[in-house]
């Protein structure tokens, strides 16, 4: 009874925390124009409202995942929710755009502390035969946050101002804090005897921020290419250093584990090919089809709603069927959906767009839960937090790459102009090119997904291969 109660409360707390960050990300996009008017801010500052959060989240995922393995996952998870709640409150109380950006960075760090640990905690509490089911529920919660973000965020912004979005998020975070402190038992520390690699953490954070900023801004900022090169150099130096120390912040030998390596590669490819789809279609629906933002948002809801409905089902299915089969089928369906969008035109009927969004949602639901289960099941339990944070990092880097592709294509085919219906033809052409690139990337992901071996949950082993070094 005590075990079942612990599992129930753990699932509630983790799913609440997992709802917060995607909800905030999708809700705040609708409030950015209102923020610009409130602070009389330039478009450059407004773009950093989203970018600062993504950069901070990506850069701190792995360091906090490693720290959680040493001092305890509950401690980092709890501190993450507290920081997220505090920074959300301060974002709502911000007195300037500069202050808002500072608190958005802290919000991103809090998000990293939550996401680097959430799946590791679930995997620690639930046995392997239930892992796919609970990870599917957790991923469905993420998609629910993405789905409710535009609707609830737009309503809050319209009736109560953009600050209300941050205050609403703060209330949910405070409830999650109370549940975490009173209901979660255990520290879930995996390697308390090891030391934390501060130099490695610095190199990783500096290298990843430089790399991601460079790849995101290489078209819009001429100096970004130098930061991109610097980021690559620092990350190579980081890898060289990590291979030579006793207790690295990121155990790169994990990537000798074939299912772990290829499952993470598949996640990176999938997010690179799909994250910017909503952005492209939002522009298409408003500037080409002439819908207002509310109607465009309702149309785009089809994809995340399908994801939220199917993810628990595919997660449960992955407990019975080899995750590689489900994830590869999902990647193939996603590729098919992207191919259909390659033929989008000014006369494409809306029903066809919504049907294809449902197809993409089905493909992503088939891919995401089984792929997450494969990653967490391919390593020893001592490395759950590291595996969880690595998976989150793949997601963030994939998002940055996806947006960088769209930015480059738009700059080449549309140019630096204010979008109006007069540019509808160029916008459709650039959308097609973007979808062609996404489809090619996703097609390669089919092979990355199918290349992994059969996972033996929690052992760090797969068919024909056993990872040494205590994994």
What are the CA-CA distances from residue 54 to residues 15, 162, 469 (Å)? 20, 19, 33
CB atoms < 10 A from the CB of 139, how many? Answer: 27
456, with CB counted inside 10 A (0-12, 13-18, 19+), is: middle
Cα 86 to Cα 162: distance, rounded to the nearest angstrom:
17
Q: Are 156 and 164 in contact (CB under 8 A)?
A: yes
Among candidate residues 210, 230, 246, the one where a domain is terminated: 246
- Are 9 and 60 in contact by the 8 Å Cβ rule? The answer is no
pLDDT digits over 85-126, tens only? 999 999 999 888 889 989 999 998 998 888 777 777 777 777
Nearest-angstrom CA–CA distance, 91 and 103: 6
Task: List 466's β-bridge partners, or say none.
Answer: 461
Contact call for residues 269 and 455 (beta carbons, < 8 A): no
The dihedrals phi and psi of 379, each to the nearest 5 degrees, come to -125, 160
**In a shared domain, residues 285 and 319:** yes
Record the tokens describing residue 355, joined without a space. 């049907």
Element (H, E) at 455: strand 455-456
Task: Say what the pTM is.
Answer: 0.74
pLDDT of the chain, 471 residues: tens digit per residue:
556 777 778 888 888 888 887 788 777 766 776 787 788 876 556 667 777 887 888 888 888 878 887 777 778 888 988 999 999 999 999 888 889 989 999 998 998 888 777 777 777 777 777 767 777 777 777 777 776 777 777 778 778 888 888 999 899 889 888 888 877 665 555 555 677 888 988 998 899 888 878 876 776 677 778 888 998 999 999 989 988 888 788 778 778 888 888 888 898 999 888 887 877 887 788 778 877 766 777 787 788 788 878 877 887 777 777 778 888 899 999 999 999 999 988 888 989 999 999 999 899 888 887 888 788 777 776 777 677 777 877 887 887 788 778 777 877 776 655 555 666 778 888 889 999 999 999 998 888 888 765 654 444 444 433 333 333
Q: Please say whether the beta carbons of 288 and 328 come within 8 A.
A: no
DSSP classification of residue 288: I
Number of domains in the chain: 3
- Among all chains, which residue has been given the structure tokens 């008017």? 37
Q: For 230-262, b where at least 16 C-beta lie within 10 A, e where not — what string?
A: ebeebbeebbebbeeeeebbbbeebeebbbbbb
Structure tokens at 27: 């809700």
Last residue of a domain, one of 150, 165, 194: 194
Q: Which of 404, 418, 424 lies closest to 284 in space, CA to CA?
A: 424
Q: What angle do CA 164, 143, 102 make, to 5 degrees?
A: 45
Same-domain status, 223 and 104 = no
Print burial letters for 457-468: b (CB count within 10 Å at least 16), e (below 16). Answer: bbbbbbeeeebe
Q: Which of 160, 156, 159 is nearest to 148 (CA)?
A: 156
Query: Could you list the residue range(s) of the whole structural domain that residue 186 is in?
Result: 1-194
Domain match, 189 and 319 both = no
Are residue 178 and residue 73 in the same domain, yes or no? yes
* 227 and 261 assigned to the same domain: no
CATH number at residue 306: 1.20.1250.20
The beta strands (E) that lie in 17-99 are given as: none
What are the backbone dihedrals phi and psi of residue 302, each rounded to the nearest 5 degrees, phi first?
Answer: -55, -40
Same domain, 201 and 188: no
Residues 167 and 153 in one domain: yes
DSSP state letter for 257: S
Computed from CA positions of residues 213, 219, 222, 228, in that sequence, does the dihedral angle turn out positive or negative?
A: positive
Give the C-alpha separation, 74 to 342, whole Å: 45
Q: Are 165 and 201 part of one and the same domain?
A: no
Final residue of a domain: which of 212, 228, 246? 246
Query: Are residues 273 and 226 part of one domain?
Result: no
Based on the fold, state whether residues 24 and 134 are members of the same structural domain: yes
- 75 with 216, same domain: the answer is no
Which of 218, 176, 219, 222 is closest to 74 using CA atoms? 176
Compute the C-alpha angle 373/374/378, nearest 5°. Answer: 115
Please, are residues 91 and 104 in contact by the beta-carbon 8 Å criterion?
A: yes
CA angle 29, 30, 32 (to 5 degrees): 65
Q: Measured between alpha carbons, how far is residue 11 from residues 4, 270, 338 in Å?
A: 11, 26, 33
Does residue 358 sit in helix, strand or coil?
A: helix
Whether residue 114 sits in one domain with residue 225: no
């Amino acid at each position: 009874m005590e075990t079942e109660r612990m599992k129930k409360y753990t699932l509630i707390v983790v799913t609440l925390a997992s709802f917060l960050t995607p909800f905030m990300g999708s809700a705040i996009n609708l409030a950015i124009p209102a923020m610009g008017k409130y602070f009389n801010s330039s478009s450059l500052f407004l773009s950093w409202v989203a970018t600062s959060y993504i950069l901070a989240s990506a850069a701190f995922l792995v360091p906090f995942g490693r720290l959680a393995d040493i001092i305890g996952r509950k401690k980092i998870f709890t501190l993450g929710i507290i920081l997220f709640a505090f920074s959300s409150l301060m974002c709502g109380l911000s007195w300037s755009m500069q202050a808002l950006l500072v608190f958005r960075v802290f919000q991103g760090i809090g998000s990293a502390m939550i996401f680097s640990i959430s799946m590791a905690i679930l995997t620690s509490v639930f046995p392997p035969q239930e892992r796919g089911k609970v990870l599917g529920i957790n991923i469905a919660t993420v998609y629910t946050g993405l789905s409710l973000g535009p609707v609830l965020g737009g309503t809050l912004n319209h009736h109560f101002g953009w600050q209300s979005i941050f205050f609403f998020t703060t209330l949910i975070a405070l409830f999650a804090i109370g549940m975490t402190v009173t209901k979660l038992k255990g520290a879930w520390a995996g390697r308390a005897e090891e030391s934390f690699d501060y130099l490695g953490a610095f190199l990783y954070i500096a290298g990843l921020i430089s790399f991601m900023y460079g790849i995101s801004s290489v078209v819009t900022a001429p100096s970004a290419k130098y930061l991109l090169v610097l980021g690559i150099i620092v990350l190579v130096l980081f890898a060289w250093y990590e291979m030579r120390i006793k207790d690295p912040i990121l155990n790169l030998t994990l990537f000798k584990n074939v299912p772990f390596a290829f499952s993470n590669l598949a996640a990176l490819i999938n997010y690179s090919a799909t994250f910017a789809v909503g952005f492209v279609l939002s522009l298409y629906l408003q500037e080409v089809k002439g819908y207002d933002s509310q109607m465009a948002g309702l149309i785009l809801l089809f994809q995340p709603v399908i994801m939220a409905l199917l993810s628990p089902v595919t997660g449960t299915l992955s407990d019975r069927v080899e995750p590689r089969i489900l994830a590869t089928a999902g990647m193939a369906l996603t590729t098919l959906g992207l191919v259909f969008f390659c033929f989008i035109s000014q006369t494409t009927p809306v029903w066809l767009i919504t049907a294809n969004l449902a197809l993409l949602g089905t493909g992503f639901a088939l891919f995401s839960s089984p792929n997450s289960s494969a990653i967490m099941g391919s390593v020893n339990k001592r490395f759950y937090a590291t595996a969880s944070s690595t998976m989150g990092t793949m997601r963030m880097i994939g998002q940055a790459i996806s947006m960088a592709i769209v930015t480059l294509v738009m700059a080449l085919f549309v140019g630096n102009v204010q979008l109006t219906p007069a540019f509808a033809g160029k916008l459709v052409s650039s959308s097609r090119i973007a979808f062609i690139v996404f489809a090619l990337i996703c097609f390669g992901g089919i092979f990355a997904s199918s290349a992994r071996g059969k996972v033996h949950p929690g052992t760090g082993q797969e068919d024909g291969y056993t990872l040494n070094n205590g994994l």
